Structure 1
Amino acid sequence: MQRTTRLLLPQYTQRIPAPQPSPAAVPQPDLVMITTYPPRACGLATFASDLIEAIQTQYEQAFTVKICALDVPEAVYPAAVFHVLQPESSASYHSLLTKMGQLHQQEWVIVQHEFGLFRSHEFKLLNALNQMEKKIMVVLHTVLAHPDEATLLFMKRLGFLAHTLVVMTAHSQKLLVERYGIPASKIIVIPHGTHLVDHLPKAVLKKRMGWEQRTLLTTFGLLSSGKNIETTLEALPLVIQRFPDVLFLIVGKTHPGVVAQEGERYRHFLEEQITALGLQHHTHFINEYVALPKLLDLLQMTDIYLFTSKNQEQAVSGTFAYALSCGCPIITTPIPHAKELVQKGSGLLFDFEQPVQLARQLIALLAQPEWQEELRGNGLHQMEPTAWENTAMHYVNYLQQQSTTPMPLTLRLPNITLKHVWAMTTGKGILQFARLNQPDTNSGYT
């Protein structure tokens, strides 16, 4: 059946009260989010942008998001960015505090946190948060399993200042409690959001690109040595012996931070590996920060998605969450996020930096199309609750419940669409079943 967004509406057990005055009469509260933000090209910026867009899509009235962007002042930002923060500058923090004091109604600050954004300037961040006298929600995109002493101290202070810490996996929640000593009452788990897609047939999408005769393996994300893409390249010769039509797509430009430090050294290294292994006909770079519609098409036409990161501390990956939501069976290294998802039947694991293991998993999965379909269906159903629309509701409902000032919410009802009904209808009637959103003409009529 077609995937739909589940709206978690209240269950009324008593008479519905009389209508109240329109919430439009109550001013919308301001919410400040400290984050990287487009046009900066990074996963955290994309996350923040997707979350804010989902909130605005789901609610006619919730709150007004004011963005404090972490970047250089020369970047051209949208109007929602009311301050550009330079993490190394005390004056920049002071300016942020001054601007926040001018907001008419503001109770919450959300910090999108990733190690590296505030490196060597952690005290300035903590000092600013302490002066804000607001409720602080920190979204932790990484929780280190083996922190050094300085990181442990920083995280404990951050946990003390925060009203709430958001993590994306149960494993990260457990680490915060057991290794960092942060009270469980301060921690909530909200999975990484994903995009709902129409799930067009693979053959149609492949034909558009001229790849209809190829079996596509894909990885995507900003390129860096941590992605460990050479593991896949080393595995491919074994795979190609059995499946000579394989094409490996490497999607994404090099991370801007990596370019600033070492240029395109890692990409050149991969190109040299491809030549040395004779893989020119079996690899294809898409060297750009791919726009969302194109990315979702690339993932939908992918036969198997590969996640080969060698960073054992990586808590979560938005890349393979997006891949699962697009119907990709995945083969992945065992980072905590992957283990939590794959154990529910949506993919396979292999050990860090083990190309022979990866090759064996690929060969086994490619040899069994029915197994691929099973993993694909499991992944799609598993990721349905994590649609950005649902993720936005998790955040907004929590903020409303924890707020002391009124936060009126007005859901925006989705547009009615009969597309699936028409797809299921033939000249005889309505087909009985579908495989996800594809009509099953062999199922008979209802």
Structure 2
Amino acid sequence: MNGKTDFSNSTANPSANVVVRLFGEGGREASALRVALIGSYAPRSCGIATFTADIREKLATYFPEIQIDVYAMDAEGSTLVYDRDINVIRADHAEDYCRAARAINESAADVVWVQHEFGIYGGPDGAFISELIDRVAAPVVTTFHTVLSSPSAGQRAVVDHLLTRCARVMVMSQHGLDLIVETYRANRDIVEIIEHGAPERPFGTAEVAKARMGLAGRKVLTTFGLLGPGKGIEQAIAAMPAIIAAASRGNLSHPGCNPSRVAGARR
């Protein structure tokens, strides 16, 4: 490892500092890092892909000395074309996970950062990710994008195994932290809450955006995230007649759905 990264650098974006501290003790000076970043990735139409691409972009902006190697999960039958520097893992091929682990070890990566979401990894309930994390020498950091309150036996086994390999864990809410500690018995000392956040984008007015989507003059209710049980979407749909009657016209929009997942199942 070459160079120096000061994790307490006050000129960096505060959110970026919090993320980087997942990889080392806050406030200390550490050698520059090489991070193997694993998840779905652009140009795939997937919320995790966008998130992973944003991570790489912002770390490159605020910590350019950190080297990021991307290992992108790709769906069966995909015809997507990735940038040449992206390492592609075919989700349903166990041998690809083993091959990626060898590449990560040969690269001398300092940390492996897994973006975990049910639906992007192959095997029963995404169990193929174990083929990779069990073979890497570097510490594993996992971001859990969804923490299920009532997992199936298979889902529970996958998360439990991931936790046995994690040096650090990132969740996005207090509720997520409570679930992963109380339901999955994760070590509280290694769990960090870092809110999801959003990339910096110019904002226009709501009316301009609605006009562009053919919804001019309408009241629009929005939600985001996975469509599945426990989200309350059914209640919102059931309430729409009363909402429309009270508001004259209304629409329920779900702009952030991850198209690779429906109720925790791969498709």
TM-score between both structures, scaled by the size of structure 2 = 0.71
CA-CA distance at 1:37 after TM superposition: 1.1
Does residue 1:66 correspond to 2:108, yes or no?
no
> In structure 2, what is the Cα distance between the partners aligned to 1:205 and 1:49?
24
Cα-to-partner distance string for 1:307-331 (whole Å, 9 max, x where unaligned)? xxxx7x9xxxxxxxxxxxxxxxxxx
> In structure 2, what is the Cα distance between the partners aligned to 1:209 and 1:177?
42
Does residue 1:99 correspond to 2:103, yes or no?
yes
CA-CA distance at 1:41 after TM superposition: 1.4
Cα-to-partner distance string for 1:212-255 (whole Å, 9 max, x where unaligned)? 5x132143658956577664454333233332244554547893
Cα-to-partner distance string for 1:187-207 (whole Å, 9 max, x where unaligned)? 111111123444434455556
Letter in structure 1 aligned against 2:124: S
Of the candidates 76, 83, 87, which is equivalent to residue 78 of structure 1?
83
Letter in structure 2 aligned against 1:144: L
Please name the residue that 2:114 is paired with: 111
Please name the residue that 2:130 is paired with: 126
Change (3 A) 1:148 1:78: same
Alignment of 1:252-291 (within 5 A): 255-256=259-260
> In structure 2, what is the Cα distance between the partners aligned to 1:237 and 1:38?
38
Of the candidates 134, 158, 161, which is equivalent to residue 157 of structure 1?
161
Of the candidates 236, 239, 261, which is equivalent to residue 235 of structure 1?
239
Change (3 A) 1:95 1:228: same
Please name the residue that 2:3 is paired with: none
Letter in structure 2 aligned against 1:240: I
Letter in structure 1 aligned against 2:168: T
Of the candidates 41, 44, 49, which is equivalent to residue 37 of structure 1?
41
SS in 1 for 2:114: strand
Please name the residue that 1:369 is paired with: none
Change (3 A) 1:6 1:243: farther
Q: Are the aligned partners of 2:72 and 2:86 in contact in 1 as well (CA < 8 Å)?
A: yes
SS in 1 for 2:52: helix
Q: Are the aligned partners of 1:37 and 1:69 in contact in 2 as well (CA < 8 Å)?
A: yes
Alignment of 1:5-24 (within 5 A): 7-8=13-14
| Identity of matched residues, % | 24
> In structure 2, what is the Cα distance between the partners aligned to 1:159 and 1:120?
18
Letter in structure 1 aligned against 2:70: I
> In structure 2, what is the Cα distance between the partners aligned to 1:114 and 1:34?
11
Alignment of 1:21-420 (within 5 A): 29-59=33-63, 61-71=64-74, 72=76, 74-82=79-87, 84-103=88-107, 105-116=108-119, 117-120=121-124, 124-203=128-207, 205-206=209-210, 214-219=217-222, 231-249=235-253, 251=255, 255-256=259-260
> In structure 2, what is the Cα distance between the partners aligned to 1:249 and 1:44?
20
SS in 2 for 1:111: strand
In the alignment of these two chains, the number of paired residues is 238
Q: Are the aligned partners of 2:54 and 2:199 in contact in 1 as well (CA < 8 Å)?
A: no
SS in 2 for 1:132: coil
Letter in structure 2 aligned against 1:112: Q
Letter in structure 1 aligned against 2:143: V
Consecutive unaligned residues in structure 2, runs of 5 or more: 1-10, 18-28
Change (3 A) 1:34 1:8: closer
SS in 2 for 1:131: coil
User: Greater strand share, 1 or 2?
Assistant: 2
Q: Are the aligned partners of 2:101 and 2:133 in contact in 1 as well (CA < 8 Å)?
A: no
Consecutive unaligned residues in structure 1, runs of 5 or more: 11-22, 259-310, 314-446
> In structure 2, what is the Cα distance between the partners aligned to 1:239 and 1:142?
29
